[in-house]
């Protein structure tokens, strides 16, 4: 999984800050598939979900077990950048 994920950096940065808008299950899965390509991606996924839940005022929504179970089901396919057009700079 040595694909270049640098073009996804703004997405990762927003996610880890708990500021990625329109967070829903599909967007979490898309972010997770990006993080699969990074060293320590699983730990980063946990961190990002924890920060997102705390910032949203619902820390109880984070579950290590649920996150791990979904992580194990990921296909690792990088999502289209179009899925994140709302947060990426216009070219």
pLDDT per position as a tens digit, 32-59: 999 999 999 999 999 999 999 999 999 9
Q: Is residue 6 pLDDT above 50, yes or no?
A: yes
Q: Report whether 88 contacts 9 (CB < 8 A).
A: no
What is the chain's Cα-based Rg?
Answer: 12
Looking at residue 1, its pLDDT comes to 45
Q: Report whether 5 contacts 36 (CB < 8 A).
A: no
Q: What is the pTM of this model?
A: 0.90
Residue 30 to residue 35: CA distance in whole angstroms? 9
Q: Is residue 28 pLDDT above 70, yes or no?
A: yes
């Amino acid at each position: 999984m040595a694909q270049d994920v640098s073009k996804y950096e703004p997405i990762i940065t927003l996610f880890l800050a708990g500021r990625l808008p329109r967070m829903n299950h599909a967007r979490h899965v898309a972010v997770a598939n990006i993080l699969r390509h990074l060293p320590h991606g699983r730990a980063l996924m946990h961190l990002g979900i924890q920060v997102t839940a705390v910032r949203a005022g619902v820390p109880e929504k984070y579950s290590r077990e649920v996150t791990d179970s979904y992580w194990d089901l990921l296909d690792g396919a990088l999502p289209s950048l179009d899925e994140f057009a709302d947060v990426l700079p216009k070219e």
